[in-house]
Amino acid sequence: MLPARDIVLLLTHGGDYYTVDRVAQALSGRGARPLRINTEDFPAQLELTTALGRTGEEVALRTASGELRGEEIRAVWVRRMALPRLDEALEPAWRDGCVRESLAAFEGFLEGLEARGCRFINPLVAGQAAHNKVRQLRMAQALGLEVPRTVVTNDAARVRSFFEHVQGRMVAKMLTPLTQSMEGGQPFVYTSAMGPEDLEALEGLHHSPMVFQERIDKRRELRVAVVGGRCLTGAIDASRSVAGQVDWRRARPEECRWEPGELPAPVAARLVRLVGALGLVYGAVDLIVTPEGRHVFLEVNPGGEWGMLEHELGLPIADALAEALLDEGDASRHPSRENAWPSSS
């Protein structure tokens, strides 16, 4: 007798609570069995096995509560991925090797689940590739969304020229995220305004290129959780926050609050198309609404935060994710070939 295929793995880290709990509740209410996995616990506390033989492939996961086989796992929510938590006494070279081996083993385990038809949010290849901001902007523009004028370079002269071109209204950001979470235990880099004084301190470009964009005037900003073809939208006005004017994530909670947001139907349709074109099931989109009412696309984060939208506005994002995880659509559309983990450096 085959086991019931009703387990949904929720991959996260030990400091992540509200959103994981909400999705777990939504899954339980639909008859599924959610299982939280703190990914930093592998390999010290979790045991994974991938076995290939003449009769096929077997994947298994052993936790403190027992062993699970691949055929019992229906879906996987890749909420957060953390680096392994290893013994600090390990020699650095040995430690780095253990991290690489652990990441490769976990990746192989997840690929084995995808090969068995498990539903992934987001599919591993798509989720990793979609982080690239240039690719996002190019595709968004092709779909008819307005995007800021943008330069990606390590050439200081080009940065200074672009600064003049946008009349000194310029911001800088990273090309890819150092971490998917503001509280994920890794460095987090905010979008920052650039002034004339910053143009004399661009030596860091010799170590890493950056993204430079024109600074767009804001009436307010939108965070749109796009999931299952739906756009669930919150709005925030951080203009009264000195720290949060450029990046609302730097504002203090008492300076601005989330409010219900609205999207014109054509913009919503383009966002749904963009998330689908990136191969994603879920994406958190950031937009600026200008004083004139234009909607300017900034980026889509495949693992972007949405807990504040559900907690403060009551948007049913956890329910939408649960429904998408239990969707019986073809999960093999996005086979896994890339590493979904953060860099070990």
Q: For 41-98, how does the pLDDT look when each residue is reduced to its tens digit (9 = 90+)? A: 999 999 999 998 877 888 999 988 889 999 999 999 999 989 999 888 888 888 899 9
For the chain, which domains are there? 7-127+326-333 (3.40.50), 132-146+216-301 (3.30.470.20), 149-215 (3.30.1490.20)
In a 3-state reduction of DSSP, which class is residue 164? helix
The reply to whether omega before 43 is within 30° of 0 (cis) is yes
Between the two ends of the chain, the Cα-to-Cα distance in Å is: 46
For the residues of 96-141, what is the DSSP string, one character each?
HHHHHHHHHHHHHHHHHHHHTT-EEES-HHHHHHTT-HHHHHHHHH
Helix then strand then coil, in percent of the chain rounded to 5, is 35, 25, 40
Give the ranges where 225-329 is alpha helix by DSSP (H): 265-277, 307-313, 317-325
Tell me if 281 sits within 8 A of 333, measured CB to CB. no
* Residue bearing tokens 């996995």: 37
Please state, in angstroms and rounded to a whole number, the distance separating the CA atoms of residues 83 and 36: 16
Tell me if 74 sits within 8 A of 5, measured CB to CB. yes
At 228-241, the pLDDT tens digits run 899 999 999 866 64
At position 159, the amino acid (one-letter code) is: V
Least Cα distance to 176 among 187, 168, 164, 166 occurs for 187
Structure tokens at 19: 């959103």
Q: Is the pLDDT of residue 110 over 70?
A: yes
At 239-282, the pLDDT tens digits run 664 444 455 555 556 557 899 999 999 999 999 999 999 999 99
Mean pLDDT of 26-43: 96
Structure tokens at 186: 């890794």
Question: pTM to 2 decimals?
Answer: 0.85
Task: Measure CA 311 to chain center.
Answer: 19
Please state, in angstroms and rounded to a whole number, the distance separating the CA atoms of residues 224 and 285: 5
Q: Is 178 or 97 the better-scoring residue by pLDDT?
A: 97
Q: Is the pLDDT of residue 189 over 70?
A: no
Structure tokens at 328: 């019986």
